[in-house]
Amino acid sequence: MDMTNPLLNIFSLPRFDLFHVEHVEPAIDYLLQESQRSVDNLVGSSLAPTWQNFIEPLESLDNSMERIWGSVSHLDAVKNSDEWHEVYAKCLEKVTSYSTNLGQNTGLFKKYKQLEQGKEYQEYCAAQKKVIENSLRNFRLSGIDLPEQQQQEFKAISLQLSQLTTAFANNILKSTQAWTKNITNVDNLAGIPETSLAMLKQLAEQKNLDGWLVTLDFPSYLAVITYAENRELRAEVYQAFATRSSERANNPEFDNSDNIKQILKLRHQKALLLGFANYAELSLATKMVDTIEQVMSFILDLVERSREQAKQELATLKTFAKQKLLGGGRQDAKLEPWDISFYAEQLKNETLNISQEKLRPYFPVKQCLDGMFTITKILFGVEVRERQGVNVWHEDVRFFDLFNNKNELIASFYLDLFARENKRGGAWMDTVATRWQPSTASLQLPVAYLVCNFTPAVSGKTACLTHNEVTTLFHEFGHGLHHMLTEMVHFEVSGINGVPWDAVELPSQFMENFCWTREGVDLISAHIKTGEVLPDELLQSLQKSRGFQSAMMMLHQLEFSLFDMSAHASYQPDDPQPVLEVSQQIREQVAVIFPPEYNRFPHSFSHIFAGGYAAGYFSYKWAEVLSTDAFSLFEEQGILNQLVGAKFKNTILAKGGSKHPIELFKTFRGREPNVDALLKYSYIV
């Protein structure tokens, strides 16, 4: 490799300080040229394919792609700039073209089939056979069996979809950043907690403005919509947030309307080319669930079980809000969408004597991390230690190593916790390097990125998390553990690789459960002033709050899941139904809360229009059944039971994508999963 380009040095951790825009395209061009040359050599070889002479060279290419292209993609998400995004989008086109060509390479496909039919195949372990099985399936889902003309059509569609989904995500980021509101009278921000006010003041200072700056980044939006007593401000911020990247936004140049139409159209065309009736069928071809009917039945069953309780929860909230509004002299006492979070927080505080801000001082970041790492050590026998001096992309980013009980380094991860400008919203885990060992080289250890968007520390104070942020931290760390505690050495089934999308949330949702137990909270809480753990009365209120409006929250997620599945399963190419109509129909079928006409939630629904959850958003609830049922074994045998923890590590985490997840689950739990566990944890009866 050309070692003068820092992006091409894949034999160490990334040197983010050395990566510049001018390095990106030459590095990607070199990577793709060398990869194509290697593929051509493999296809042209007269040797009978074996694991060592065929699969391992391909794994090496995947590894290089992850290390090099992964760094470019990561920086586009956490340190976005127009210049970087422009070259990223340009290179994405090349990477997509290469990947599509690879999926349609007849010579490679024949080599895989030859390998499957060879004598050596019977001697392979289950993980190796799974790699080959998945590869053959993916070839067929990449159009390998199509005639030449249709292969070219498939390739063109794949390229367009890659460009459109990237544009969709970038429009959300740009639209989010384009709206701000500068407030110079603090009275207009009455009710907003001191921590959030300090954050808004810091945002203003960063822009050389007086007063406070409200933005649509989630910590800012959440602070206003949950706490601001100024109803007009809440309404204004709600509308700006709900119309992001749409024609109703103040900055309609970032409208995603046409992107959505084109994405749905092209996905449908792609599915038809491959012989599926619609994109939903294509999506399910790589998931645990087999049919659209199964998904719909699963979702609608949960709707049926949740709806009456959700109606009751909403009625209680409306009554409470009306009393407050009339008591405040308001004659327009109707509960509006921008009132829901505000009055829900007040109702929770009055009935349970608890709020996220009341909890925040108990969860300083250091204690949360120390406690989370202690839980990891007890359950999985793994110690987490911070390493100083590692090169990072921002001063807030930290780096940690994982050691086993023999004090051997087994994995590492970067931790980027706080929201900031030019950083994509949300929280995610991504991979820097995958655990992998070819027969002729030493073991490559897994490395992960863990990224969140929490409220940053301000004015030199210690950063503390709300309990919601704590559960998000545990969620992403669960994804990280899935990647880092794998024992697989074959690239395509190592960590989260090869894990069906509707099972990949199992470890992440599983880890959240420890944030609600006495045993877990004792380790992750220490009041910022007194050092005391969360008291019993607050913990009991917190546990009860898990059921606060839980049916309304359940319906909210199910509405998203149904919209996603319906938009993809019911698409009619001759007469496509406008996406807002689909959304409204689903809402009328499922919801108890109805947003205003201007709401454009599909336009910022990045999970399905820019992420990997297209016709798969149901995966969150599907995996939640698995995660809650898995955790119930800890409840039965001990929350921090080392034997049960070791069993979870050895069956669920260690096996990666080498076995079907339902088989791994049954090995761990001793039976099929039970949906009642989800309802129990959601306090839905």
Q: Write out pLDDT tens, residues 515-548.
A: 999 999 999 999 999 999 999 999 999 999 999 9
What mean pLDDT is reported for the chain? 95
pLDDT at 501 over 90: no
Claim to verify: residue 23 and residue 74 sit in the same structural domain: yes
Last residue of a domain, one of 542, 560, 594: 542
- Give the pLDDT score at 328: 65
- Same-domain status, 13 and 117: yes
Give the β-pairing of 447-454 and 383-386: unpaired
Distance of CA 337 to the CA centre of its chain: 26
Q: How far apart are CA 415 and CA 392, in angstroms?
A: 10
**Is residue 633 included in any domain, yes or no?**
no
- Sign for the CA dihedral angle at 102, 107, 108, 110 comes to positive
Question: What is the pairing mode between strands 180-183 and 212-215?
Answer: antiparallel
Please determine, for residue 356, whether its predicted confidence score (pLDDT) is greater than 60: yes
Given a cut of 70, whether residue 73 has pLDDT beyond it is yes
pLDDT, tens digit, 9 for 90 and up, residues 434-448: 999 999 899 999 999
Tens-digit pLDDT profile for residues 114-127: 999 999 999 999 99
Indicate the number of domains in the chain: 4
pLDDT above 80 for 459: no
Q: Which two tokens stand for residue 507?
A: 């470890």
Kindly report the CATH number assigned to the domain that includes residue 576.
Answer: 1.10.1370.10
Q: How confident is the model at residue 461 (pLDDT cuts 50, 70, 90)?
A: confident
Averaged pLDDT for residues 58-64? 97
Residue 268 reports pLDDT greater than 80: yes
Residue 247 and residue 285 share a domain: no
Helical residues (DSSP H) of 332-417, grouped into ranges = 337-352, 356-359, 365-380
Q: Considering the domain boundaries, does residue 21 fall inside one?
A: yes
Tell me what percent of the residues of the chain surpass a pLDDT of 70.
Answer: 99
Is the pLDDT score of 334 beyond 90? no
Least Cα distance to 431 among 383, 379, 377, 498 occurs for 498
Active-site residue list: 476
Residue 162 lies in a domain: no
Q: Is the pLDDT of residue 331 over 90?
A: no
- Does the residue 170 lie in any domain? no
Same structural domain, 124 and 267: no
Query: Residue 498: which CATH number?
Result: 1.10.1370.40
Residue 683's pLDDT band, with cuts at 50, 70 and 90, is: confident
Q: Is 417 inside any structural domain?
A: yes
- Read off the pLDDT of each residue in 565-574 and give the average, rounded to a whole number: 96
User: What is the pLDDT averaged over residues 115-140?
Assistant: 96
Name the nearest CA neighbour of 449 among 468, 431, 462.
431
Same structural domain for residues 117 and 214? no
Mean pLDDT to the nearest integer, 399-406: 98
| 406 shares its domain with 487 | yes
- Reply yes or no on whether the pLDDT at 326 is more than 80: no
Same domain, 307 and 427: no
Average pLDDT of 392-402?
Answer: 97
- Rounded Cα distance, 61 and 492, in Å: 12
The yes-or-no verdict on residue 327 having pLDDT over 80 is: no
Is residue 192 domain-shared with residue 97, that is, in the same domain? no
pLDDT for the residue 386: 98
Judge whether 123 lies within some domain: yes
562 with 535, same domain? no
Q: How large is the average pLDDT for residues 588-599?
A: 95
Task: Report the C-alpha gap between 567 and 580 in whole angstroms.
Answer: 10
Residue 458 in this model has a pLDDT that exceeds 90: no
How high is the pLDDT of residue 184?
A: 98
* 568 inside domain: yes
pLDDT of residue 457: 86
What's the pLDDT score for residue 112? 97
Same domain flag for 328 and 372: no
Q: Is the pLDDT of residue 382 over 90?
A: yes
Query: What pLDDT is recorded for position 685?
Result: 65
- Strand 447-454 and strand 409-418: the pairing is parallel
Asked if residue 388 belongs to a domain, the reply is yes
CATH (domain of 119): 1.20.1050.40
Which of these three, 561, 591, 617, is where a domain ends?
A: 617
Q: Of the residues 122, 141, 160, which one is the last residue of a structural domain?
A: 141
If you average pLDDT over residues 417-433, what whole number do you get? 94
> 276 and 224, same structural domain?
no
pLDDT for residue 672 is more than 60: yes
Domain around 315: 257-352+550-617
Listing DSSP states for 49-60 in one string gives P-IIIIIHHHHH
From the CB of residue 134, how many other CB atoms can be counted at a distance below 10 Å? 16
Whether residue 367 is found in the same domain as residue 428: yes
Q: What is the pLDDT of residue 684?
A: 78
Quick one: DSSP state of residue 456? P
